[in-house]
Amino acid sequence: MASLRALRLSALTRVNSPVSRLVARTYSTKWLGRRLRCEHVLDSRHSAYQAAESLIGLKERLAELIPEKQEEVKWVKKELGAKVLGEVTVDQAYGGMRGIKGMIWEGSVLDADEGIQFHGYTIPDCQKKLPAADGGEEPLPEGLFWLLVTGEIPTKEQVKLVSTEWAARSALPSFVEELIDRCPNTLHPMSQFALAVTALQHESTFAKAYAAGTNKSKYWDSTYEDSMDLIAKLPNIAGRIYRNVFKDGKVPTIDMDKDYSYNLSKLLGYSDNKDFVELIRLYLTIHSDHEGGNVSAHTGIVSLEAATFYVCDSDSLFPTIPQTHLVGSALSDPYLSFAAGLNGLAGPLHGLANQEVLRWIIHMKDELGSTEVSDEQIKEYIWKTLKGGQVVPGYGHAVLRKTDPRYTAQREFALKHLPTDPMFKLVSQLYNIVPGVLNEHGKTKNPWPNVDAHSGVLLQYYGLVEQDYYTVLFGVSRSLGVLAQLIWDRALGMPLERPKSYSTAHIKKMFANK
């Protein structure tokens, strides 16, 4: 067996292209010795890798881009470093730092009216340009990850390489499987998710490289390796949690020939339904990244550029961006950083809103006795929520001021695949009513729906009805955005984040005579 393996490896290595070297290295150092499953991969993939000989793989392309980007950033800092990005008021310091421009995030930029753009590509652009699976229409999230990392639209073959590599890296260490299996079913799936990701830190290439005294110019390499491993392992973590908490605890195996979304669907138990798999491809693409200031991104992984801020009405410098724990900037490895981000995503004002939305709608349906309800009944239900001092989940946004294009993409999916579903009709009815009520209420700056207002109704249509699980899927997707950025943070040598904070007493003192 060993000599057969060695033969196959040397055959791969003889194909002297960057891609085959990458694949050979991946198998030889990480997987081959450990997983018999890789035997099958080598058998079935060998010819594919030879055919892919002329392809540039993701890591090779990244390595080409890093020096260019480093030069670009050097130029921007030299030429534009003294420019002022904005002012900071005391209100903003108390107000969750809304509107403060204090971070660099390469993968995406959010426009209040247009929504998210990934390296300038809108969601409809991505749906048109990113490769889809054979027979499918929705973009493959592998392609979106490529776009986030490189700023370029990959070819179908390049996307296939990423799918293959993620499948090959997907196995979990047995102690992580056992850890998940030992969680009580009553522990929220998001807590199990963060726990498992933290435990995977045991495998961190970055942590080992750092401990071994690696030169910091090489940090991006081990950060890339960890990020690819971590993303690859998420379906096995997410699937295991779902099967343990809600099903029979039996976890299907990854199919080495299939794409990431198919495999996630398979591990959940829904891959027989091709429309569900398409939904997951869309879901993982659109939830991936939302620039740098959202809670999951800036908790876990952030890069702060040295911008200058002033307090309005004051000549005293106020360089304060009092943020929470910006774990990645402390050179915590990708596992620790992403686990921190997941804990932020698990909050009901952020990613947990998707479970809250479906719960709120089901509660409304139960209270009103049917999905056939009048607009007046819905209005009353919304007012009851507001008068109870609660938020209407799925509506409002810290930055967006129009309907979230991620909502629109999911609505279009529903119009195509489940136009007559009673719950979808209810979601559509809410879309026509909630903004008016929120406007009348008069507090919310953005009365329009966000991404979470739609995702649950799609998942429940295909039988994935366990709302408490939904944010785990969001977390799997968010890994793509935040880890792409973390790789760049290390490639660009972004510093430890440490903004300034003040106490209320200090602020009063600062402005006592002004």
Ligand X SMILES: CC(=O)SCCNC(=O)CCNC(=O)[C@H](O)C(C)(C)COP(=O)(O)OP(=O)(O)OC[C@H]1O[C@@H](n2cnc3c(N)ncnc32)[C@H](O)[C@@H]1OP(=O)(O)O
Ligand Y SMILES: O=C([O-])CC(=O)C(=O)O
Smallest separation, CB 340 to ligand X (Å): 16
Instruction: Record the tokens describing residue 306, joined without a space.
Output: 């040295």
Smallest separation, CB 123 to ligand Y (Å): 12
Please pick, from the candidates 362, 399, 433, 510, the single residue that binds ligand Y as defined by CB under 6 A.
399
Q: Which is nearer to ligand Y, 294 or 410 (CB)?
A: 294
Interface positions, 339-378, toward ligand X (CB under 6 A) = 349-351, 353
Number of C-beta neighbours around residue 466 at 10 A: 17
Residue whose CB is nearest to ligand X in the complex, by number? 396
What CA–CA distance (Å, rounded) separates 198 from 209?
A: 18
Smallest separation, CB 450 to ligand Y (Å): 6
Annotated catalytic residue 366: no
> Residue holding tokens 């891609």?
19
What CA–CA distance (Å, rounded) separates 426 from 495?
A: 48
Please pick, from the candidates 63, 109, 373, 398, the single residue that binds ligand X as defined by CB under 6 A.
398
Interface region with ligand X, contact rule CB under 6 A, candidates 101-109, 175-183, 240-248, 389-397? 389-397
- Identify the sign of the CA torsion 157, 158, 162, 168: positive
Interface positions, 434-473, toward ligand Y (CB under 6 A) = 450-451
Annotated catalytic residue 397: yes
Number of C-beta neighbours around residue 483 at 10 A: 29
Q: Nearest 5°: CA angle at 94, between 93 and 98?
A: 65
- 8 Å CB contact between 175 and 199: yes
- 8 Å CB contact between 483 and 301: yes
Question: What is the end-to-end Cα distance of the chain in Å, rounded?
Answer: 80
Given ligand X, ligand Y, none, residue 353, with its beta carbon under 5 to 8 Å by kind, binds ligand X
Does position 290 bind ligand Y by CB under 6 A? yes
Spell out the residues 6+ positions from residue 249 whose beta carbon is closer than 8 angstroms to its own. Answer: 181, 243
Please pick, from the candidates 398, 433, 507, 510, the single residue that binds ligand Y as defined by CB under 6 A.
398
The residue from 350, 404, 454, 489 that is catalytic is: 350
> Residue holding tokens 């947990």?
352
Please pick, from the candidates 271, 294, 343, 355, the single residue that binds ligand Y as defined by CB under 6 A.
294
The residue from 397, 404, 454, 489 that is catalytic is: 397
- 8 Å CB contact between 121 and 289: no
Residue whose CB is nearest to ligand Y in the complex, by number? 294
What letter represents residue 7's amino acid?
A: L
Smallest separation, CB 129 to ligand Y (Å): 21
Instruction: Record the tokens describing residue 251, joined without a space.
Output: 């976890």
Q: Which helix (H) or strand (E) holds 110?
A: strand 108-111
Smallest separation, CB 13 to ligand X (Å): 44
Q: Which is nearer to ligand X, 132 or 391 (CB)?
A: 391
Annotated catalytic residue 452: yes
Helix orientation angle between 452-461 and 274-286, rounded to the nearest 10 degrees: 160
The residue from 287, 452, 454, 489 that is catalytic is: 452
Interface positions, 444-473, toward ligand X (CB under 6 A) = 444-446, 450-452
Residues that bind ligand X (CB under 6 A): 349-351, 353, 386, 391-398, 443-446, 450-452
Supply the residues annotated as catalytic: 350, 397, 452
Residues that bind ligand Y (CB under 6 A): 290, 294, 398-399, 450-451
